[in-house]
Amino acid sequence: MTDIDASDWLGLQPTHNPMRWYLPVTPKVSVRSKFLFGGAGLGAATAALEATTGRPVVWATAQYLSYAQVGSVMDLDVTVSVSGRRTTQARVIGHVGDDEIITVIAALGQRDLDLTEEWPSMPAALPPDQCREREHHYGAESLGQHLDQRWATAPAEQHIGGPTGHGRGTVCVWARPPSGVGPSATTLAILGDWVPMGIGTLAGRPISSNSLDNTLRILNVLPSDWYLLEIEPAGISNGFGHGQLRIWGDDGTLHAIASQSVLVRSRK
């Protein structure tokens, strides 16, 4: 099967202006058919940046300012601030009408350096087909329903506590993108938006949360049937939560690192 570009799956569309793109906010890229899923917004922005500049994203950070409701159309305006021989610095403003929804700043480029190293190691986990499915208790369509997710349980001999056996402050989840969606910065941006789920899993009582930001740092964009999300919530204080996650390919290659801060409230 030919890979589907993740930006096409999101529904990102070009315009006659090469610096402007638009994204219809549909239920499949939403949270409970209400508003745009944050990772989809960052994913659309990274795709617009890469297509506009012709360079791959190295890192991108999104600040979430408001909600794009399902049924609306978000315009994405790209501004290239600096374009050097190997690196481009750029930003995207996503807005619905006059309401700014998301601001993304990013660096893009690729340098010739004969040095590749990775220091963390992928945590041990049972294969996805031996892990319990992560169920979604939503009454309406959400982006998460389009991902196959499994609680990535540690092997019995390495079980050291925590909800998936990877330690007190760690939650591991296998995730597989929608059928046919290939590897890209956009795919990684969607997969990197699950720190809030990790925080909610570890919290001492039922909570809900909304992302304030999301930063994605990319090491590799490579094919993988499944991705392991190693989520490390740091804590909750003063009504805000913080954490990070690593995105691993199923061969143990580190693809990206993501970090987020969220607004936390008690679930009614």
* pLDDT of res. 136: 81
Structural domain total, the chain: 2
| Residue 178 and residue 64 share a domain | no
**pLDDT at position 219:** 98
pLDDT for the residue 139 = 81
Task: Answer whether residue 119 is part of any domain.
Answer: no
Same domain, yes or no: 157 and 186:
yes
Distance from the Cα of residue 93 to its chain's centroid = 18
- Residue 77 sits in a domain whose CATH number is 2.40.160.210
The secondary structure of 95-110 as a DSSP string is: EETTEEEEEEEEEEE-
**Residue 234 shares a structural domain with residue 161:** yes
* Residues 163 and 199 grouped into a single domain: yes
Residue 105 in domain: yes
pLDDT of 245: 98
In the chain (268 residues long), the average pLDDT of successive 10-residue segments reads: 87 97 98 97 98 98 98 98 96 98 98 94 97 87 95 94 95 95 97 97 94 97 97 97 98 98 92
State CA 46 to chain mean position distance. Answer: 11
100 and 162 part of one domain: no
Range of the domain at 241: 128-266
Question: pTM (2 decimals)?
Answer: 0.96
Q: How far apart are CA 27 and CA 180, in angstroms?
A: 19
| Last residue within a domain, chosen from 80, 109, 138 | 109
Q: What integer pLDDT is reported at residue 138 of this predicted model?
A: 76
Q: Tell me what pLDDT residue 2 has.
A: 61
The Cα–Cα gap between 197 and 108 comes to 29
Cα separations in angstroms, 176 against 144, 148, 164, 243, 259 = 11, 5, 18, 22, 20
Residue 84 corresponds to which tokens in the numbers above? 């050097």
Distance CA 84, CA 79 (A): 15
| End-of-domain residue from the set 109, 143, 177 | 109
Is 139 in the same domain as 74?
no
